[in-house]
Every structure is written in structure tokens, then in C-alpha cells.
Structure 1
């Protein structure tokens, strides 16, 4: 019996259709807001940093005069202009890297809503305003803002990529804010207050880096390659202790808080320690701390504690103020 032979011709299978990514749906049209974008570029939400440090020069009751208040207002304006220049230049330098960050990609330069030319023009206007504000004054009053600009521009040019040095430079900027306020009113910088400001701001800076290590993309900030969560946690414990001790030493040794004001001022140390503990709780337990300014302004416990601290310090300063001379 003959067995039929079947053809061994290969079976051709039709290739699957190539996958074509559908074009993205057009998003809502965003109306251009150049003035709002220019304002966002100078980060007005960060100006509270100047308000929190520069007026510390008014802890000396001898500066409680209309002239002293005017000088502090001048110092606030000068540092606000200087910090705005630094923010714009920093965003210019980081615009490509910011485009890869889930939050920073919405900044005006990274999003392309403001071009390089517009940012440079804004920088020139801010620099002209700053120059006009400082030149009529003696150099002894505005040298801290010059050091701040040099240090900050060096930071933007590459020092921010060096681990530890990046955080130390940020903290030094706040000491320079304090120095400008003291120079404006002719008061020497209290040494222990300067240490306290530096260590507290270093603590916030390290806390921000810890948050970036755990919640953000470490590749966005090259300096994070020199940090680990464990290393930062050890530093945070050390710096928090230094902050509390230096604050106590400032209250105990500064002649402003002499006499009846001494006990009231020392009570404020309880608020200072609670504030540190609350920040560490947010940072280590709640995994927050990415935006220290937001924390300080929106956390209820921190706001209430800060208000109580302000009342105690204000009372101590009133007790320390010299009695008014009779007419």
C-alpha cells in the first residue's frame, strides 16, 4: 500500500503587526504667566530663611530704635536680593538635571516656561538693585553678603557636588545672614549664637539629604554618593546635641539675658529641645523633612512651640531692657 507523501514546505506565519505607541493625548493648554514664573524663579517661599536669622541681631535691646529697625529691614532686603540671584543662577546651572526630577521639573527654567535670556535679564536686574542698596553703606556693614555671594556661586559651580562640604556651605550661609544683621546694627556676632545657628541649619541640611536618600532619586544630587542613611543618622544625632548645648551656652553667657531675664530665657531652652525632638520625629519616624521651610511653617506642633518660644524670649528681652530715662 502506497503511503501518500506530504510536502515538507515550511509554513509561513504572518509576522505580528509592529507595536505603535499611540500619540499622547493633548494636555490642557496652559496660559503663559511670565510674571508669575519670574516670581517663582526667585522662590519667595524661601525668603522666610532671611526673616528667621537676620533679625536675631535685635536680641540686643540697645538696637531697639527706629534706626536699628530700619537697618535690619535694609539687611533683610539685601539678603533677599542676594539669595534671589543665587536661586536663579543655581536653577540655570541645574535646569537639565532638574528636568529628570519628579518635582523640580516643574520649575520655570526646567519646564521651559522661561528661557536662558529671561533668567539672565532677571539676574542683571537683581544685581543692579543689590549694588544700589549696598554701595551707599560702608563695607563693614555689607561684607557678609559679598562672602555669601562668592561662596554660593562657588557652590553652584561645583562645590555642591562634594559630600559634606555641600551641607556645610549651606549652613555657613545662615551664619552670614546673622553676621549681616549684626553688622547692620553695629553689634558683634554672639559666638555661641553663631554656633547654634550654624549647627541648627546644618541639621536641617543633613535632614534634607537623608530624606532624598530614602524618598527621592539619589542620582539627582551627585553629592549623595558620599552619604548613607546610617552615616547621616550619626551626624544628625551629633549635630542635634551641639545645637542644644550651644543654645544653652548662648543664653547663659550672653550679657543681654542678665538679671531677671536669665531665668525666663533659660525656660525657652525647653522649647528649643522640644523643637529639635519634633523635627527628629518628623525626619526619622514620619520619613518627612524634605522641605524644612514647609515643616516649620505648617506643622502645628512646631508652630505652637515656636510661638511659646517667642513669648518667652520676648518676655526675657523686655525684662532685660533698660528702664526709660525720665523726661
Structure 2
């Protein structure tokens, strides 16, 4: 009697229906030497240098409300930016250590240095500890300004990594709150209170980007990579995107009209900014809802030409208005 070998795809007893992590790659001759040569690049990749744009762009926003741009104010803001860049680097390394098992189930994140095995876990812990020491040195030697937003950001991310990331709805709010803390740190550096409408605007924009990312994840690996996605659906994400977009428009335009440092030019700035704000939001919704993007908000915003041009045009409008508000004599010679 002929015996037919079972197919290779049959699960062993007791394992039917369970997800299997990808097998580690086979060692290749000379792999250790190549790994050592590539270690600096992997360590740089761990801290997500492109994501430093979050701190570089948000923290200095406070300078718009500074009365005089003195060297002391500029230095304090620069120190605050450095502190948040280092805090973000610590968080990224810590998250990659904690999520290395789930990242191996993701088609893209499985290539991250720790998940792929290129950076040993022990080395990653030492790297994170070194970054924390450097962050402590920056805070300890910086200007005598409060750095509680940086410390709150670290505490928030510890709670996020352990608990909050697994709680639907709370997870996206926790991520958005990290952006608000960056803004608050900038204002703490110059010793000025932050505008309430500006805080709401930053929170709503960040929440919109995070929800767009969750929506894209629902179309990919799903709950195997992020268990909190069990509390979401594509329809819910679409509704949340609509709400956050509406809140972004209202809060942003109210800030320009009432609490911005533009003075009497606040209302004209609101009118001029409205088309760019709406088009930018429309384009983002098109990327997420039509093109299935939004998985990496930072790269998506920076690389999309329409969004980049719109953001640049909006920045020009606001910058020109800001200069005219700061220099009334110049405005008198230009405007009728």
C-alpha cells in the first residue's frame, strides 16, 4: 500500500489556527562582521531620526508668542528641543524592545533592528540607558526652566507601553497627548502660557494622524500586531477622522482669529489660511481613505507633494502676516 506524505502546511497537533512568528534568518558566512559594520546605522535607525521633526517643528512654536527673541529665549527653546529629541529617542528604543515579538509579525516592522535580530536586546537596553543619562545631563545643565513636560512625556510613554496601548480609544489619545506636551515644553522654556485654542489644534491634528494610522493598520496585519485594534473598525476610524478634521478646522481658525500673536491681522490671516487648511485636510483624507495610506504619518506628510506645497504656502501666509503684525511701520508702507 502506498503511503502519502502529509503536506508541509499541516499544523502539528494543538497548534491549529495559531499564528507563527517568522523563522529567524539562517546565518551566513561573514554575517557577524557585516552586522558589526552595520551596527552604527542600526543604532541610528532605532531612534527614528526622521521623527525628530515632531520636536523640531512643535517646540519652537512658542517663539511666536515671545515678546523679544533674545539669545536667552532662543537658547532655552533650543535646549527644550534637544531634551524632547532625546526623550523621543529613549521612547522609540524602549518601545522596540517591548514590541519586538509583535513586530516580527508585521510585514514592515519585522525589519526593525531589534525585531530582525541585528541589535541584541542587551545592547538595546544599554543604548537606551545611555540616552537616558544624556537626557539627564541636558536637563540638569540646561537653563533654569521647568522640564516637567519632558518628564511627563516619559512617564506617559511608560504607561503607554505597559497598559495604555492595549486600551482602544485611550491609546490614540495618549499618543496625541505626547504632541501637546512638546508644545507645552516650548512655552515653559520661554515662561509664557500656551493658548488654549492652540493646544486643542495640536491635539486634534495629532489625533487625526494617529487615527489615520490605525485605519491603515486595520487593513494590514490587524490585531496580531496591535491587540487594541479589536476595539476599532474601518467605519469607526472613518467617523473619528471626520470629527477630528472638523475640530482641527474650528480650533485652528479660532486660534488665528482670537489668541494668535497676529493682533489686528488675525482675521485676515484666518480668511487667507482657510483654503490651504481645507485643501490640506482634503488631501490627507484622500491619501487615507482613497489611496490606503497614512501608515507612517511623518513620512507621508513630508513626502506627499500636494501636502508639502500646501503646508509651505500656509507657512508663507502666516509668516508674512506675523512679520506685518510685529512691524506696523513696514505694514504701513506696504498696505494701503
Normalised to the residue count of structure 1, the TM-score between the two structures is: 0.88
> Does structure 1 residue 35 correspond to structure 2 residue 40?
yes
Structure 2: stretches of 5+ with no match in the other structure:
10-24, 330-336
Aligned to 1:195: 200
Contact preservation (8 Å) 1:260, 1:320:
yes
Match of 1:229 among 231, 234, 237: 234
Q: Which runs of 4+ in 1 moved over 4 A?
A: 16-21, 24-30, 137-140
Alpha-carbon distance change, 53 to 43 in structure 1, aligned in 2, over 3 angstroms: same
Equivalent positions of 1:45-124 (< 5 A) are: 45-60=50-65, 62-124=67-129
Q: How many residues align?
A: 310
Alpha-carbon distance change, 29 to 245 in structure 1, aligned in 2, over 3 angstroms: farther
Alpha-carbon distance change, 175 to 17 in structure 1, aligned in 2, over 3 angstroms: closer
* Larger-gyration structure (1/2): 1
CA distance in 2, matches of 1:206, 1:89: 22
Equivalent positions of 1:160-309 (< 5 A) are: 160-260=165-265, 262-309=267-314
> Does structure 1 residue 15 correspond to structure 2 residue 3?
yes
Q: Secondary structure at the match of 2:76?
A: helix
Contact preservation (8 Å) 1:140, 1:183:
yes
Q: Secondary structure at the match of 1:141?
A: coil
Contact preservation (8 Å) 1:208, 1:289:
yes
CA distance in 2, matches of 1:169, 1:19: 46
Q: Secondary structure at the match of 1:110?
A: coil
CA distance in 2, matches of 1:285, 1:18: 43
* Cα distance, 1:14 vs structure 2: 3.9
Aligned to 1:5: none
CA distance in 1, matches of 2:84, 2:95: 16
Q: Secondary structure at the match of 2:146?
A: helix
Contact preservation (8 Å) 2:105, 2:224:
no
CA distance in 2, matches of 1:143, 1:209: 29
Contact preservation (8 Å) 1:211, 1:290:
yes
CA distance in 2, matches of 1:63, 1:247: 24
CA distance in 2, matches of 1:267, 1:236: 24
Measured on the aligned residues, the alpha-carbon RMSD in Å equals: 2.3
* Cα distance, 1:116 vs structure 2: 1.6
CA distance in 1, matches of 2:5, 2:234: 48
